[in-house]
Chain A
Amino acid sequence: MTAPFPTRKQEGWRYADLDALQPVWEQFAEPLTLTVGPGEGFEEVWLPVADDVQVRRMQIALEAGAKARLFVLNTAPVYGRIELDVSLAEGAEFELTGANIGTGLSTNEIVTTVKHIGENGRSRQTVRSVLNGKATGSYLGKVGVARGAQKTDAGQSVKAMLLDRGATANCKPELEIFADDVKCAHGASVGELDAMQLFYAESRGLDPASARALLLEGFVMGLWDSAKDGDAIREAAREALRRVVG
């Protein structure tokens, strides 16, 4: 039986493009599941595809000492959603590095729930959005620290760059902590390109469009530096930026 179609009243779906989702809901209703065994490692790069609507939903269980790293690029022409539900047992590590790059009327969102269940877990989430036109880019990230999950170290860093007055960024890092010896940091910012950086680049000979493209590349491309197999996502991100910056 297919899971019920979501509504905007559900926190994790409040910015979703449900009209775009409806016709394809059946294929995405059940999230994929993945278990990473004790001490094992998992690393994956999620590249965009050509479809108008691109949804990836995954539940990841990290057992004691397991490590998972995901590098994701969300740049669907209509609606892109990357949804992760991650649980971390003792000593597990989770790292998410992602970007929303959108233009036109597109909606791209990264929605995560990271649950620290065991002690000494570590999670890092870094999301950058570049939005032009009337595009929407969102990061909704809930970090939960269970009662026994002492020495948890959780970080969320979210930054968005708006290139047009019509573009929208939603950043919502959220913490729910039931342990007392934990370190949870989050930072969020929404901005435009720095005028002094633009002038510096132009004074060296770059026309305004090239200067903007270079600065945006810097904003996004640093994300993939630590990926083992980062070339494909780097190239895809570069292509998406070219399309979005125009």
Chain B
Amino acid sequence: MLDITNLHATVADKPILNGVSLHVPAGEVHAIMGPNGSGKSTLAYVLAGRPGYEVSEGSATFGGADLLAMEPHERAAAGLFLGFQYPVEISGVSYLQFLRESLNAQRRARGEAELSGAEFIKLAREQAAALGMDAEMLKRPVNVGFSGGEKKRAEMVQMGIMQPRFAVLDETDSGLDIDALRIVGEGINRIMRAADKGVLLITHYERLLEHVRPDRVHVLQAGRITRSGDIELARDLEREGYAEVAA
């Protein structure tokens, strides 16, 4: 479903990714772990198409299409979702308006009918409730005044509303307390565990993986995948650290 081959990328002319190869088949959840500065967030941004993140070599295809040739909004319409490590605040625009316009833009691009206001509000309420978020918060400006944990939970509500085919989740677990972590883990399973969907879960910690149970775990170090394994690899890392396990 997502095929990354020998991907090299630079940010401000500095090489960050140095030949990442990764294959995530439909129906699987893969986790990427790695120390600070190893290139995890860069990989997420490159996949979503953030300006300034330049691919210098290699390829990434999504469902057979050249992902890197698409604009960010085209990637979203194709079914790619990026859960941001630091969700962005937008004052003056309510979450409801933001998500409704975004979802309908995606649907238009796919040739699907747009949702009416009532249909959208019903969907938003359902997804907020499923993630234990007060639907009233969706009337507030996007992420303004939200705590770190609320922002991450709101990212998952967005994912539930968008129903992507593939999610790249960049440290969605950071800033969450234990209960919120469980709710977010359950949300990922509920929304994304399906035969025709896939997830790339970027994390520092093994704890979220106990909820989500990835099919594969990869270690990213210095812009390259240095080890791959099953969830036992994540447990080893948690116990012994990156230096010991992946060196």
Contacts and interface: CB of A to CB of B under 8 A. Distances in A.
Given A199-B51, A199-B72, A207-B73, A222 B91 contact: yes
A70 interface: no
B196 interface: no
Given A206-B73, A206-B102, A218 B109 contact: no
Contacts of A203: 48-50, 72-73, 75-76, 82, 84
A1 interface: no
B77 A201 contact: no
A23 interface: no
B109 A197 contact: no
Given A199-B72, A203-B48, A205-B77, A221 B105 contact: no
Interface stretch (A25-33, A42-50, A98-106, A209-217): A209-217
Contacts of B210: none
Nearest to A211: B73
B162 to A, nearest CB: 7
Contacts of B49: 202-203
B76 to A, nearest CB: 4
B230 to A, nearest CB: 30
A201 B89 CA distance: 11
Contact of A196 (B72, B88, B99, B101): B88
A242 to B, nearest CB: 14
A219 B109 CA distance: 27
Interface in A190-246: 195-197, 199-208, 210-211, 214-215, 217-222
Contacts of A205: 73, 76-77, 102-103, 105-106, 109, 162
A160 to B, nearest CB: 15
A197 to B, nearest CB: 5
A208 B88 contact: no
Given A199-B50, A202-B71, A206-B105, A215 B93 contact: yes
A199 B101 CA distance: 15
A204 B90 contact: no
Range of interface residues on chain B?
A: 20 to 34
Nearest to A128: B92
A215 B50 CA distance: 17
Contact of B102 (A204, A208, A222): A204
B93 A217 contact: yes
Nearest to A215: B90
Given A204-B76, A214-B101, A221 B92 contact: yes
B92 A219 contact: yes
Contacts of A219: 92
Q: Which one of B76, B77, B92 has the greatest number of beta carbons of chain A within 10 Å?
A: B92
Nearest to B83: A203
Nearest to B82: A203
B90 A200 contact: yes
B92 A210 contact: no
A171 B73 CA distance: 35
A219 B82 CA distance: 25
Contact of A220 (B92, B98, B102, B158): B92
B175 interface: no
Nearest to B141: A218
Contacts of A201: 90, 98, 102
Interface in B38-69: 48-51
Interface in B125-147: 141
Given A204-B99, A205-B73, A197 B90 contact: yes
A204 B71 contact: no
A218 B73 contact: no
A36 to B, nearest CB: 30
Given A195-B51, A199-B50, A210-B105, A204 B88 contact: no
Q: Which one of B75, B82, B102 has the greatest number of beta carbons of chain A within 10 Å?
A: B102
Interface in A166-199: 195-197, 199
Nearest to B158: A204
A204 B77 CA distance: 8
A217 B162 CA distance: 23
Q: Which one of B50, B90, B99, B109 has the greatest number of beta carbons of chain A within 10 Å?
A: B90
A128 to B, nearest CB: 10
Q: Across chains A and B, which 9 residue pairs bring their CB atoms closest together, nearest first?
A: A218-B92, A204-B102, A205-B106, A218-B93, A205-B76, A222-B92, A200-B88, A202-B72, A205-B102
Interface of A: 195-197, 199-208, 210-211, 214-215, 217-222
